[in-house]
Structure 1
Amino acid sequence: MDDELLRRLRAEQARALLYDADPQHAVMLACDLLVAGVDSDAVVALAAESARTLPAHHANRRLAAVTAELGLPEPELPTAVALVAADTCERILDHSIPAEVGTHRLYVVGHEGSPLDDLLPTVAALAAHLEDDLDGRADDDLQTRLAALARTILNRMTAGNSA
């Protein structure tokens, strides 16, 4: 399995630990694993699910079976927070999630055990601005500020990994 697939798998595993796996991402990940030659029973079972109708709790269970079959241990809480935060930031920066969704997903930085908890007031201020001043619809300024925060988070995580 290449590094990108492993990163995606670990991020989805962390998301399932903290909240719920994203059923669509989990199914698509399983399909990509199959294409890459990872054809275990659990991967096949998850890939065979409907990305549109798979309930989150079933996605969690299927994903747990995949990670168990592949021998991936559950990440510790600070690691799970970092994985979900990094994945969210990457999705914000590549515009694969709307700014409105990304803003709220970054609340993960305030999760217990987060190495990024000092950024929670910044996330909360952006979310309050989004909801209170912009009626839930991001404008260009909020998108710019959110992208800057995403880059800050990724840079801090990269600096922390190289230390």
Structure 2
Amino acid sequence: MNDDLLRRLRTEQARALLDDADPYEAVMLACDLLVAGVGSEAVTALAAEPARTLATHEANRRLAAVVAELGLPEPDLPTAVALIAADACERILDGSLPAEAGTHGLYVVGYQGSPLDDLLPAVTALAAYLEDDLGGRADDELRTRLAALARIILDRVRAQNLA
């Protein structure tokens, strides 16, 4: 399995640990694993699920089976936070995650024991600006400030080799 697939798998594993896996992402990941030659029974079963209608609890269960079958250890809390935060930041910066969702997605830095918890006030300030001043619709200023915060988070995650 290549590094990108392993990172994606660990990120979904972290999401399931802290909240819930993204059913669509979990199914797409399983399909990509199959293409890469990782054709275990659990991977095949998850890839066969309907990506758009798979229930969250079922995605969590199937993803857990994939992780168990592949023998991946559960990430510790700091690693799980770093994986989810880094993924959100990369998606914010490449434009695949809307600023509104990205802003709220970065609240993950505030988990107790997070190595990024000192950045929670910056996330909270952006979310307050988004909700209170902009009525929930991002503007260019928010996008610029969010991109700057995403770069800071990514730099910290990479410098500390957290994810």
SS in 2 for 1:37: coil
Alignment partners' CA distance in 2, 1:112 and 1:63: 25
Q: Deviations over 1:34-75 (max 9, x none)?
A: 000000000000000011111111100000000000000110
In structure 2, the partner of 1:117 is 117
Q: Aligned AA for 1:44?
A: T
Report the equivalent of 1:139.
139
Q: Which aligned pairs between 1:31-110 and structure 2 lie closer than 5 A? A: 31-110=31-110
- SS across alignment from 2:137: coil
Q: CA RMSD in A?
A: 0.9
Matching residue of 2:148: 148
Please state how far the C-alpha of 1:157 moved relative to its aligned partner. Answer: 1.2
Q: CA deviation at 1:115?
A: 0.1
Cα shift at 1:154? 0.5
Letter in 2 for 1:10: R
Equivalent residue for 1:16? 16
Give 3-state SS (helix, strand or coil) of 1:161's partner: coil
- TM-score, normalised with respect to structure 2: 0.98
Partner SS state of residue 137, structure 1? coil
Q: Percent identity?
A: 78
Cα deviation digits, residues 96-140 of structure 1 (max 9, x gap): 110000000000000111000000000000001000110100001
CA distance in 1, matches of 2:115, 2:96: 25
Hey, what's the Cα distance between the residues in 2 that align with 1:91 and 1:17? 20
Give the TM-score of the pair, scaled to structure 1: 0.98
Q: CA deviation digits over 1:70-90, x for unaligned, max 9?
A: 000110111101110111111
Aligned twin of 1:127: 127
**Cross-structure match for 2:6:** 6
SS of equivalent to 2:37 = coil
**Structure 2, unaligned runs of 5 or more:** none
1:131-158 per-position Cα deviation (integer Å, ceiling 9, x unaligned): 0110100001100100000000000111
**Distance in 1 separating the partners of 2:161 and 2:24:** 29
